[in-house]
């Protein structure tokens, strides 16, 4: 067998190995790019949720404060109403 024919038989194997290496490298790049995109999208999504829930929490705290002031005001009205009802009731009892 000539030296040239031996070299030709090895050459396809070298090309195949190189091709496999290129494909693996390309797949690794695709995997890394997809992972990076997912990480970025998840980070953006979480940041957006934190902002939205932060705003929602602030609004709910304000609603709680407002309702608290309404409860205090309502308690005053109830006390005044009870006091105002007590006077006529006592008058009726005295009759």
What's the CA angle centered on 73, arms 68 and 75, to 5 degrees?
A: 95
Output phi, psi for 2, to 5 deg.
-80, 160
Q: Two tokens at 22?
A: 């290129």
pLDDT at 95 over 80: no
Q: Two tokens at 60?
A: 């709910």
pTM: 0.52
Provide the pLDDT for residue 24: 97
Reported as a single tens digit per residue, the pLDDT across 5-57 is 444 455 656 688 889 999 999 999 999 999 999 999 999 999 999 999 999 99
CA atoms 59, 63, 68, 69: torsion sign: positive
Provide the pLDDT for residue 87: 85
Provide the pLDDT for residue 8: 46
Provide the pLDDT for residue 17: 86
């Amino acid at each position: 067998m000539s030296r040239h024919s031996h070299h030709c038989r090895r050459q396809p194997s070298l090309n195949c190995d190189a091709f496999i290496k290129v494909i693996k490298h390309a797949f690794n790049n695709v995997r890394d790019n997809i992972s990076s995109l997912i990480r970025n999208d998840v980070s953006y999504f979480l940041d957006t949720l934190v902002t939205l829930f932060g705003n929602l929490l602030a609004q709910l705290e304000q609603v709680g404060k407002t309702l608290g002031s309404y409860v205090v005001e309502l308690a005053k009205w109830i006390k005044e109403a009870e006091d105002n009802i007590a006077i006529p009731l006592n008058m009726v009892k005295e009759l």
